[in-house]
Structures are given as structure tokens and as C-alpha cells.
Amino acid sequence: MSELAQQNAQNSRQCASTTKAINETKTTPEFEIGQEVYKVKDVLGDAEDHKTAPKFEGPYIIVNSAPPQCI
């Protein structure tokens, strides 16, 4: 039983290091004032079919920009 626990712990550490490496390459998108953007719909309504429903909402227009530290 402890062998299984050790193996699970090792697998968990490997996954954590892989996730950390992937996240380090991610960048936050920068938007300019006046730019049109679309928002991904996270949850579909009850009446919407997941195959034919639109996947995005918008377009929205960027009217204000916050400093990156505030996000």
C-alpha cells in the first residue's frame, strides 16, 4: 500500500512541475482602448444546444485600461 502512495506522490510532483513550466510561458493579453474583443461563454443556458450555440459573446469595446498590477 505504501508503494502505491509513494508512486502517486511522485506522479503528483511530476504533474506539478509540468504545470509550472507550462504556466511560465503563458502571457496575459494586452488590449488597447477602442479595440473590439469577444468573451468566451463559460456556461450555456438551459435552452441552448451545445453544438449550435454561439461560443462567444460580444463584441465588446475596450473603454478603459487598468495597470497590469491591478488585474
**β partners of residue 40:** 56
Q: What's residue 69's pLDDT?
A: 64
Alpha carbon distance 39, 37 (integer Å): 7
State the pTM of this model: 0.51
Q: What's residue 71's pLDDT?
A: 55
- The SS3 of residue 60 is strand
Cis? peptide before 59, omega within 30° of 0: yes
Instruction: Find out whether 56 and 41 touch, Cβ atoms under 8 Å.
Output: yes
pLDDT tens, residue by residue, 4-59:
888 887 777 776 677 777 778 888 788 889 999 999 987 777 767 777 888 899 99
pLDDT tens, residue by residue, 55-71:
899 999 999 887 766 65
**Sequence ranges of the domains in the chain:** 2-70
**Residue 41 CB coordination number (10 Å):** 14
- The SS3 of residue 15 is helix
